[in-house]
Chains A and B, each alone.
Chain A
Amino acid sequence: MNARAEVLVVARLDLAEVLRSRWLIFCLVVHGVLAATFVLVGLRESGVIGFTGMGRALMSWSHALLFLLPLLALTATGQVVNSARDDGSLELLLSNPVSRTAWFVGTSLVRTGALVVPLFVAMPLLGLVGSLAFGQDVPWGFLARGMVVSAALLVCFVAIGLAVSTLVRNQAKALMLAVLIWALGVALIDFGLVGVMLQWDLPPSAVFALAVLNPVQSARLALLSAAQPELSTFGPVGFFLANRIGPSWLLVIGVVWPLLLGAAAWVFALRSFRRRDLL
């Protein structure tokens, strides 16, 4: 059996596992509830005061997802390797002629897909519902931007979660570390960064670098770059960056940087997985 066939076997088994797991259901429910909330609330409000409601609903939803998706990805993958190690499934599968790399690749693909696919279903569905049920003009360009940025962010945090689950053997500690990483990603934007700058007398350039290096912030700026830069929506750091490097570069950075960071975390996790004791 060649490497690709091994990956397929692992992926098929992991997909069967994921389809019966609670976190996938939780993930779908979160997407569904958020989408429904923003459609109902956003569109109803727009009907009263005359704004383009669909765009507003999508913008708000995407913005909320940027904070939520990393948490979903980290909690869904932060215990993949260590729980497989603890419950014996890793021992069972890897006692068969399958390489560690094939296991890791197959599992990574399924876990990423399980988070990205519901998003790619829910977002266009939201647009269709807005268009068909409420007669709204759907900003498909913004929708596509939101999907791409969200997917890049998911890929990044799935990889970080896999790295955490590979490096930290204890499941509870891994979950704590995952939540801590999420909290740092969410906290170090705009006012949090300004606070850091003031507390430690950092030069503004260091703060802007930190802002762009934080995948949550870079994704957020990429998403917001679709709109006219305003201090109230971008925050001080984002507003400066949007004016300094422009919306196109913000989009590129917001997609490419999380992907690069995710790729680096994934390669690091794979190398560690291949070298360490599996039990």
Chain B
Amino acid sequence: MNVEVRGLGKRFRRVVALHEVSLQLSAGSRTALIGPNGSGKSTLVRALLGLLEVDGELCFDGMPRHGGGRELASRIAYVPQIAPRLAAPVRDVVRAAAGLRGRSWGAVAALAAQLRLDLDALAARPFRALSGGQRQKVLAALALASGAELLLFDEPTASMDPASRNEFFRLVEGLPTGSTVLLCSHRLDEIRRLVDRVVVLDEGRIAWQGAAETYLAEHAEAVIEVRADGAPAAGWLTANGFTAGLAGWWSRALPVGQRARVVADIGQQLNGQVQDLMARDVERLQPVTKERRS
């Protein structure tokens, strides 16, 4: 589904939540919407869902949001960041949401199973009695089973365990190529795996937009942590920019592109002296390049 947002504005009394936001999500694109808390991400998503009255234009495949009605709503699916704490049993919640889209319990249960959730076993339990991660899996399964052409995910894996998160990534990667995905996220692993484009919102305005690769290069940094014994190892690590920490651990932050080479060097140079090694990516508030310039 092709989505066009032109001059979108939203004000909550004195607070400007969105100001002249314009962007295009072409059919089949995968876009991450990121920004600090209160930057307008959720407002934009809710405007796309038609839950808010906004200024400006919202078009879906050339059709205005207000003219779409039920038919348009059936082409859009949504996973909120925080699942509501409904007292109704899981069975009733799933049947209601799936039923509105003409989907069966079985179709949702099959996707939930892929997210490592046994929906049949939980059917009689109140929805609010599920853990945050379980509720998020139910909602993710409902959205993925919906067959929608536009999927709006608001931090969909925030409460999921790593294995389920990985399964969720796999399922999103397996969506039909025409499916358009808009993902609100702060997680670099989600951005790296799921999207090809990033839009940064700040105080209701678009602060940056471009390729995900560029964003990651500017904002992501690798951190390598090594636990090693002996003076030769300490000397080599110090010479290569590592800082000593507690219990024999050394760490160094470096551009993501250098991570693989440095890990390989550690293997070669400290052979037999390394007891443990971790490499992970972290996001910086300021772009790495900007920070280095200053």
B152: chain A residues within 8 A (beta carbon):
95
B88: chain A residues within 8 A (beta carbon):
13, 16-17, 20
Docked complex Cα distance between A98 and B71 (Å): 10
Q: Which of A44-52, A237-245, A258-266, A271-279 is found at the contact surface with chain B?
A: A271-279
Contact in complex: B51, A278 (CB < 8 Å): yes
A121 to chain B, nearest CB (A): 22
Docked complex Cα distance between A86 and B216 (Å): 35
Contact in complex: B96, A12 (CB < 8 Å): yes
A97: chain B residues within 8 A (beta carbon):
70-71, 73-74, 100-101
Docked complex Cα distance between A244 and B58 (Å): 61
B189 to chain A, nearest CB (A): 25
Contact in complex: A279, B46 (CB < 8 Å): yes
Docked complex Cα distance between A124 and B157 (Å): 53
B98 to chain A, nearest CB (A): 9
A63 to chain B, nearest CB (A): 34
Contact in complex: A13, B92 (CB < 8 Å): yes
Contact in complex: B80, A92 (CB < 8 Å): yes
A70-110 CB mask vs B (1 if < 8 Å, else 0) is 00000000000000000111011111111100000000000
Docked complex Cα distance between A13 and B84 (Å): 13
Beta-carbon contacts under 8 Å, B73-93 to A: 73-74, 76-78, 80, 82-89, 92-93
B133 at the interface (CB under 8 A from A): no
Beta-carbon contacts under 8 Å, B240-270 to A: none
A190 to chain B, nearest CB (A): 41
Q: Select B80's contact among A16, A21, A91, beta carbons within 8 Å.
A: A91
Residue on A nearest B88 in the bound complex, by CB: A16
Instruction: Sort chain A's interface into a size bin.
Output: 20 to 34
Q: How many A-B residue pairs have CB under 8 A?
A: 85
B53: chain A residues within 8 A (beta carbon):
275-277
A274 to chain B, nearest CB (A): 11
B82: chain A residues within 8 A (beta carbon):
88
B232 at the interface (CB under 8 A from A): no
Docked complex Cα distance between A278 and B85 (Å): 18
Contact in complex: A96, B97 (CB < 8 Å): yes
Beta-carbon contacts under 8 Å, B185-226 to A: none
B70: chain A residues within 8 A (beta carbon):
1, 97-99
A30 at the interface (CB under 8 A from B): no
Query: If the complex has contacts A12-B96, A20-B88, are A95 and B49 also in contact, measured as CB distance less than 8 A?
Result: yes
A13 to chain B, nearest CB (A): 4
B99 at the interface (CB under 8 A from A): yes
A9 at the interface (CB under 8 A from B): yes
Docked complex Cα distance between A172 and B202 (Å): 32
B56 at the interface (CB under 8 A from A): no
Contact in complex: A17, B87 (CB < 8 Å): yes
Docked complex Cα distance between A6 and B69 (Å): 13
Docked complex Cα distance between A82 and B147 (Å): 31
Contact in complex: B102, A1 (CB < 8 Å): yes
Beta-carbon contacts under 8 Å, A11-56 to B: 12-13, 16-17, 20-21
Q: Which 7 A-B pairs have the closest CB atoms?
A: A16-B88, A88-B84, A89-B84, A95-B78, A97-B73, A97-B74, A20-B87
Known contacts A13-B93, A95-B80; 14 further A-B pairs (Cβ under 8 A): A9-B96, A9-B99, A9-B100, A12-B92, A13-B96, A16-B88, A17-B88, A20-B126, A87-B85, A88-B82, A88-B83, A92-B84, A96-B100, A99-B69
14 intermolecular pairs with C-beta atoms under 8 Å apart: A9-B99, A16-B87, A91-B46, A91-B51, A91-B80, A92-B80, A92-B84, A93-B97, A95-B73, A96-B73, A98-B70, A98-B73, A277-B52, A277-B53
